[in-house]
């Protein structure tokens, strides 16, 4: 089994085990740990009953053992169960040459044992002999990371599989707030489902903002990064989440002002410099130059000048100058972000 749809692969494996089609070896690998955990946990909970685990179940860790230890464990026959189950976590830490022994085991495996190898954050080489040998008798699943535009669909499917629903905009907001960490997203979805009343079926944007947003410490640099990258969806979402909080706008404006002032310096003097020279000129560390260089693909010099003007305007407004009574800092923040993200300029003065 080696398709590109990790979700379908994981569900197929689980369905096969439920149907009694249990393989002697499960080699789970790839950059996305969520599906590896999903399959491994299911096998751990369904191959050997809890009351028999002291006799017929072992967990080993790749950083502490050699493949010989794994094969010694999996060579034993079960005492109280139909199968002996051996799960190797962090199997990516096993030495590469140790996998030659896995090839030999696959050719003559214990029919009363199930070996599960979990290789997280690592894609194995399908050209290797052990890989091909395991495919003949067992299951090989590659767990791929989702693209950002696939994450909202994952959220919707996860919630619906648990008998509830979520609005598309709420799924997008959750994706933006949490990011592509599927394990964390699943945890947040579970929290949101638990907050629904008995007669409620759909998770709303307001619920995501309240339950997920309130548990995340607002970071002005996180918002700045979204603005610098002109990630409109993320910038607007972060601004919306903190709109109801007691955000102090002047310090946030200062962070933004410092960035765009440095970006103006980069435009004027540093575009043809290497990172070290640009860093010296701007008074920053070379590591940070890349963000300014990337920002020049999103903003031109005229836009930078306009943004600095916007920041000065909202610095004054945050201090009570020229605003309507009752206007909150959260509302001012949303306005400011909108204006920055949508300012335009055709000519580059630098």
pLDDT (tens digit per residue) in 134-177: 999 999 999 999 988 899 999 999 999 999 999 998 998 888 88
Tokens of 164: 């509830």
Alpha-carbon distance of 100 to 131, in angstroms, equals 10
Q: Is 264 among the domain residues?
A: yes
Q: Is 11 among the domain residues?
A: yes
Among 124, 142, 160, which residue terminates a domain?
Answer: 142
Q: Is 17 among the domain residues?
A: yes
Task: Please name which of 113, 119, 159 lies closest in space to residue 137, comparing C-alpha atoms.
Answer: 113
Same domain for 80 and 50: yes
Q: Which of 151-155, 194-198, 225-229, 251-255 has the lowest mean pLDDT?
A: 251-255
pLDDT at 281: 87
pLDDT at 12: 95
Residue 56: phi, psi to the nearest 5? Answer: -125, 20
Residue 185, pLDDT above cutoff 50:
yes
Q: Mind listing the pLDDT tens digit for each residue in 269-318? A: 988 899 899 888 888 888 888 999 999 999 999 999 999 999 999 989 88
Among 142, 161, 190, which residue terminates a domain?
Answer: 142
Q: Provide the pLDDT confidence category of residue 347 given band limits of 50, 70 and 90.
A: low
Average pLDDT over residues 334-346: 86
Same domain for 170 and 129: no
Same domain for 259 and 173: no
Alpha-carbon distance of 300 to 350, in angstroms, equals 9
- Residue 244, C-beta contacts closer than 8 angstroms, at least 6 positions apart: 209, 330
Same domain for 136 and 42: yes
Q: Mind listing the pLDDT tens digit for each residue in 199-235? A: 899 999 888 877 776 555 556 778 898 999 999 988 8
CATH of the domain at 12: 3.40.50.300
Beta strand pairing call for 84-89 and 113-120: parallel
Alpha-carbon distance of 328 to 290, in angstroms, equals 34
Residue 195: phi, psi to the nearest 5? Answer: -80, -15
Note whether 70 and 115 are within 8 A (CB): yes
Q: Is 94 among the domain residues?
A: yes
Q: Is 250 among the domain residues?
A: yes
Q: Report the chain's mean pLDDT, rounded to a whole number.
A: 89
Q: Is 199 among the domain residues?
A: yes
Alpha-carbon distance of 292 to 278, in angstroms, equals 10
Q: Which structural domain range is residue 181 located in? A: 148-215
Alpha-carbon distance of 195 to 225, in angstroms, equals 31
Alpha-carbon distance of 14 to 7, in angstroms, equals 11
Q: Provide the pLDDT confidence category of residue 243 given band limits of 50, 70 and 90.
A: low
Q: Is 238 among the domain residues?
A: no
Q: Is 331 among the domain residues?
A: yes
- Residue 184, C-beta contacts closer than 8 angstroms, at least 6 positions apart: 178
Alpha-carbon distance of 72 to 315, in angstroms, equals 68
Q: Looking at the chain, how many residues does it have? A: 350
Q: What is the CA radius of gyration of the chain?
A: 27
Alpha-carbon distance of 316 to 297, in angstroms, equals 29
pLDDT at 1: 42
How many domains is the chain built from? 3
Among 142, 166, 195, which residue terminates a domain?
Answer: 142
Same domain for 200 and 163: yes
DSSP 126-138: TTSHHHHHHHHHS
Same domain for 155 and 128: no
Same domain for 324 and 280: yes
- pTM higher than 0.85: no
Average pLDDT over residues 48-74: 95
Alpha-carbon distance of 93 to 95, in angstroms, equals 6
């Amino acid at each position: 089994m080696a398709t590109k749809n990790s979700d379908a692969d994981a569900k197929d494996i689980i369905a096969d085990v439920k149907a009694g089609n249990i393989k002697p070896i499960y080699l789970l690998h790839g950059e996305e740990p969520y599906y590896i955990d999903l399959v491994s946990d299911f096998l751990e909970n369904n191959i050997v009953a809890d009351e028999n685990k002291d006799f017929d179940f072992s967990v080993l860790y790749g950083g502490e053992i050699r493949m010989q230890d794994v094969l010694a464990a999996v060579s034993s026959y079960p005492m109280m169960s139909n199968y002996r189950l051996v799960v190797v976590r962090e199997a990516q830490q096993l030495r590469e040459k140790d996998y030659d022994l896995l090839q030999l085991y696959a050719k003559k495996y214990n029919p009363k044992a199930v070996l599960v190898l979990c290789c997280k954050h690592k894609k194995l080489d399908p050209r290797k002999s052990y890989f091909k040998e395991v495919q003949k008798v067992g299951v090989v699943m590659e767990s791929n990371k989702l693209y950002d535009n696939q994450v909202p669909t994952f959220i919707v499917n996860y919630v619906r599989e648990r008998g509830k629903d979520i609005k598309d905009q709420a799924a997008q907001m959750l994706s933006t707030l949490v990011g592509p960490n599927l394990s964390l997203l699943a945890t947040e979805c579970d929290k949101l489902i638990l907050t629904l009343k008995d007669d409620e079926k759909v998770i709303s944007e307001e619920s995501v903002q309240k339950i997920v947003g309130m548990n995340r410490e607002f970071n002005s640099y996180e918002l700045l990064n979204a603005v610098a990258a002109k990630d409109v969806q993320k910038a607007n979402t972060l601004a919306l989440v903190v709109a109801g909080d007691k955000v102090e706008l002047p310090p946030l404006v200062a962070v933004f002002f410092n960035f765009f002032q440095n970006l103006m310096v980069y435009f004027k003097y540093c575009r043809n410099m290497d990172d070290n020279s640009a860093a010296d000129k701007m008074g920053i560390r070379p590591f940070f130059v890349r963000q300014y260089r990337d920002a020049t693909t999103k903003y031109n010099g005229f836009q930078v000048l306009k943004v600095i003007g916007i920041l000065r305007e909202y610095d004054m407004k945050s201090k009570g100058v020229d605003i309507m009574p009752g206007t909150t800092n959260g509302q001012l923040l949303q306005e400011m972000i909108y204006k920055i993200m949508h300012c335009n300029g055709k000519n580059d003065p630098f």
